[in-house]
Amino acid sequence: MKKREFLKKVAVLSTGVTILPSCGVSPSDENQKTDDKNKGADLDKEVKRIRTAHIGVGGMGAEDLKAISSHEFVDVVAICDVDFIASMAAQKLHPKAQVYSDYREMFKIMGNEIDAVIVSTPDHTHAPASMMAMGLDKAVYCQKPLTHHVSEARAMQKLAKEKNLVTQMGIQVHSFYDYKLATLLIQDGIIGKVKTVRAWSPKNWGYDGQEPEGKDKTPDTLIWNLWLGTAPERPFKKKFYHPGNWRKLMDYGCGTLGDMGVHIFDTPYNALQLDVPKTIVNNCREPNGFGFPEKNEVTYEFPGTKYTTENLTWIWTDGEGVPASHEDLKLPGDEVLHDQGAMFIGEKGRLYLPHFQLMPKLIVDGKYQEMDISKFKLEEPVRDYEAEAPKHYHQFIDACLGKDKCTAPFSYASRLTETILLGVIAGRFPNQKLHWDSATAKFKETEANQFLDSKYRVF
């Protein structure tokens, strides 16, 4: 089924369900209109608690559930997972919540009892579940990357804007001290205009092997058809798809770039106020139609912004042994580079941002330099994940209550995700420079356009 048809279905579902007027709606991003302030204030009076529904509660979904439900004004009312092991574990923690295995059924039955939806499924289900939630006027917290396809990212952004919904992408480090500090330092001009950014991760969420033959018995606890959802029909094979390994495969995930890249790209993307790139080239192996390449080097060229030189070059590398040594990545005294991170290379020096929860460092003429950070009004650093991670989630709930604004709304997340996905598509055309036209949302190389969208299976 094409995305358009799916949206039509969402609209039909919406008309058959009673929707709470403007529940979960409040100021969410820079696109908001001024009269939203009043809407937020009304909401504060009307809605004292936010009723959440969680789609996908195993793996990261369990973390999301924990962080969201730690907000004092949250009631978890619905839990949905296609694997009963995950949903039963979640229900133990929230015994009052109703349990579902099909999010469509959950919305049909409980559409008028939910204010906000948390989507923590594999990537290919982010858009189908979030679009349905937004079609019913729900606020949505969706895991990263926002979507599996560029067309979906654009559709999510459009719908969220049209309906003026509170939205947030699950890039929790966006709200962490070191990333906020790096953003302020770059925007303050500490290294002058930025020419190049390098970002790297040695993780390998690729698979160079062949598609497995045959099929294994589906575990009794798993509803495979619902796990596949809108993705093409495929027999179940142990260890290939569920849980977690779907990331390596084209039909469900977005490889290492879509996994770690979103987190590591986020700060430079935000700090430099980038839009989508003009050109993309991925230096990787030939596509095999099943798994992503195990090693990628993606070079993006972005149009300049007020924080960059006329153009900005961005080089992402992933896979075992990455990054190879490069002059831009040399640290003072031959210090060993952190295994994951980003380096901003500017006209007056470099800013090194190891991933994660580590202080950004200024390097000038091959030496670390002191930085005066006293002028930035930041809270003290909290270098404890458990303490810091909930901030991003609580910001979302506070935004639902009309008391805060989300800093990674879909208006932002969709552009960042589009950028990431363009690099993923470039992996299907190794070493070929692709030219992206943001205005028409098309590549100049027409053969690449088929990967911007995908058919939805009816399930």
Ligand X SMILES: NC(=O)c1ccc[n+]([C@@H]2O[C@H](COP(=O)([O-])OP(=O)(O)OC[C@H]3O[C@@H](n4cnc5c(N)ncnc54)[C@H](O)[C@@H]3O)[C@@H](O)[C@H]2O)c1
Please report, as ranges, the residues that interact with ligand X according to CB under 6 A: 55-61, 80-83, 86, 103, 120-123, 125, 143-144, 170, 172, 226-227, 229, 242-244, 259
Nearer to ligand X, 122 or 268 (CB): 122
Nearer to ligand X, 43 or 254 (CB): 254
The 8-class DSSP code of residue 261 comes to I
Question: From the CB of 90, what's the least distance to ligand X, in Å?
Answer: 9
| HSE-CB of 374 using CA atoms within 13 angstroms | 2
Question: From the CB of 137, what's the least distance to ligand X, in Å?
Answer: 20
Question: From the CB of 57, what's the least distance to ligand X, in Å?
Answer: 6
- 297 φ, ψ (degrees, to nearest 5): -125, 110
Question: From the CB of 258, what's the least distance to ligand X, in Å?
Answer: 7
Question: From the CB of 119, what's the least distance to ligand X, in Å?
Answer: 8
Question: From the CB of 61, what's the least distance to ligand X, in Å?
Answer: 5
d(CA 395, CA 42): 19
Q: Are strands 74-80 and 50-55 parallel, antiparallel or unpaired?
A: parallel
Q: Which two tokens stand for residue 256?
A: 């290492």
Contact 441, 452 (CB under 8 A): yes
Q: Which helix (H) or strand (E) holds 45?
A: helix 36-46
Question: From the CB of 141, what's the least distance to ligand X, in Å?
Answer: 11
> What are the beta bridge partners of residue 317?
200, 297
Question: From the CB of 189, what's the least distance to ligand X, in Å?
Answer: 30
Contact 179, 357 (CB under 8 A): no
The DSSP annotation for 303-317 comes to E--TTEEEEEEEEEE
Nearer to ligand X, 243 or 430 (CB): 243
Nearer to ligand X, 165 or 249 (CB): 249
Nearer to ligand X, 82 or 191 (CB): 82
For residue 89, give Cα distances in angstroms to 68, 190, 241. Answer: 16, 48, 21
Nearer to ligand X, 86 or 186 (CB): 86
The DSSP annotation for 393-445 comes to HHHHHHHHTTS---SS-HHHHHHHHHHHHHHHHHTTSTT--EEEETTTTEESS
d(CA 427, CA 298): 8
Which three-class secondary structure state does DSSP give residue 194? strand
Contact 115, 50 (CB under 8 A): yes
Nearer to ligand X, 48 or 92 (CB): 92
Nearer to ligand X, 110 or 364 (CB): 110
Question: From the CB of 36, what's the least distance to ligand X, in Å?
Answer: 27
Nearer to ligand X, 1 or 329 (CB): 1
Closest among 1, 226, 15 to 104, alpha carbons compared: 226
Question: From the CB of 128, what's the least distance to ligand X, in Å?
Answer: 8
Cβ partners under 8 Å of residue 346, min gap 6: 186, 190, 191, 192, 193, 194, 195
d(CA 258, CA 420): 6
Nearer to ligand X, 205 or 429 (CB): 205
Question: From the CB of 151, what's the least distance to ligand X, in Å?
Answer: 18
Cβ partners under 8 Å of residue 81, min gap 6: 55, 56, 57, 58, 61, 87, 90, 101
d(CA 3, CA 11): 12
Nearer to ligand X, 36 or 81 (CB): 81
Q: 101 exposed, middle or buried (CB, 10 Å; 0-12, 13-18, 19+)?
A: middle
- 290 φ, ψ (degrees, to nearest 5): -130, -60
Question: From the CB of 399, what's the least distance to ligand X, in Å?
Answer: 18
Nearer to ligand X, 122 or 206 (CB): 122
